Amino acid sequence: MFDFFFSPWQASDPWAGLTAAALTAALLTLLAYRLAGNPERIRSARNHILAHLLEVRLYRREPRTVLKVQGLLLAHTMRYLLGSLPPLLLLAGPLGVLLVQLDLRFSRLPLVPGTAALVKVRLESGALPGSLDAALHAGPGLLVETPPLRIDSEAEIDWRIRAVEAGIRTVEIRIGSEVEVKSVAVGLSGIPALPAERGKDTWTNRLFLPGESKLPAGSRLRSIEVVYPERTWQVFGLRMSWLSPFLLLLLLFTLLLRIPWRIEL
């Protein structure tokens, strides 16, 4: 479903896809407030908050009055939050899934041919990598550059690989008699889904680590991760993660669209 949603922006600048996602999230937010919000309580509480803020400024030289007004300000803030709680609860599920999918597409960059990356294999707690036979075999388009680095204190084994040719490539990890496979994205354009980590088949991993099949329950591996480069976004000359511009766009669209929809926020 999310692959279909982002397909129109695969060949365009990532900002187009992020803007479309923020607009969609704004529409979901307004719909939730329309269905579950309490506009009278929200409007009344917001007006009282603004009035008490003005009182604090007007009576700033009268400590007793300011203290009383601050108590009223806190009470009406709680009223405002309670009025907004039902739509926020309604939004929690859809927006949570959307944020996970956005992170899958906007937080990392595929490898570029010629660049190196780490493959991290984390074992179940208590395992000693130094006592295990471990090997990594790279498929076409990848090279393995280092022998396994075993870190017993972290129950982890690392390799360094180098990308050679563009495409969805694979590495095969062998730990003892167990063999598992992990995909590696090289040279892909647009905003592809990049599942950096493959974890155990649990409900949390199904939700927070989408994009690849899960490791079997009986596996001695806890996770397999490809460390992709971080994608940074430049806003007003500042570099940041995708979440900050997404939230700014979400706030902007929500405030603009609430006017024609006449929705209290």
pLDDT tens-digit series, residues 48-98:
888 878 877 777 777 778 788 788 888 878 877 887 888 889 998 899 999
Q: CA geometry: angle at 43 spanning 41 and 49, to 5°?
A: 100
- Measured distance CA(242)–CA(79) in Å, rounded: 32
Q: Looking at residue 182, what is its pLDDT?
A: 95
Q: Give the up-direction half-sphere exposure of residue 52: CA atoms within 13 A in the CB hemisphere.
A: 19
With contact defined as beta carbons under 8 Å apart, do 191 and 6 qualify? yes
Going from the C-alpha of 257 to that of each of 141, 143, 211, 213, 231, the distances in angstroms are: 48, 51, 33, 39, 30
Which residue, chain included where needed, has tokens 């919000």? Answer: 37
Beta-bridge partner residues of 239: 234
Domain ranges of the chain: 2-107+237-261, 116-226
What number of other Cβ atoms are within 10 A of residue 145's Cβ? 11
Structure-token pair, residue 49: 């908050």
What number of other Cβ atoms are within 10 A of residue 51's Cβ? 13
Report the SS3 class of residue 187: coil
**What are the backbone angles phi and psi of residue 54, rounded to the nearest 5°?**
-65, -35
Q: Looking at residue 73, what is its pLDDT?
A: 80
Q: Looking at residue 234, what is its pLDDT?
A: 87
Q: Does domain 116-226 have CATH number 2.30.29?
A: no
pLDDT digits (tens, 9 = 90+) for 184-201: 999 988 888 899 999 998
**b or e along 60-90 (b: 16 or more beta carbons within 10 Å of the residue's beta carbon)?**
eeeeeebeebeeebeebeebbeebbeebeeb
With contact defined as beta carbons under 8 Å apart, do 171 and 161 qualify? yes
pTM value is: 0.81
**What are the backbone angles phi and psi of residue 212, rounded to the nearest 5°?**
-145, 155
Structure-token pair, residue 76: 């009406």
Task: Give 111's DSSP letter.
Answer: B
pLDDT along the chain (265 residues), means of 10: 86 89 94 83 79 79 79 81 85 91 94 96 89 93 95 94 95 93 92 91 85 89 95 88 94 92 80
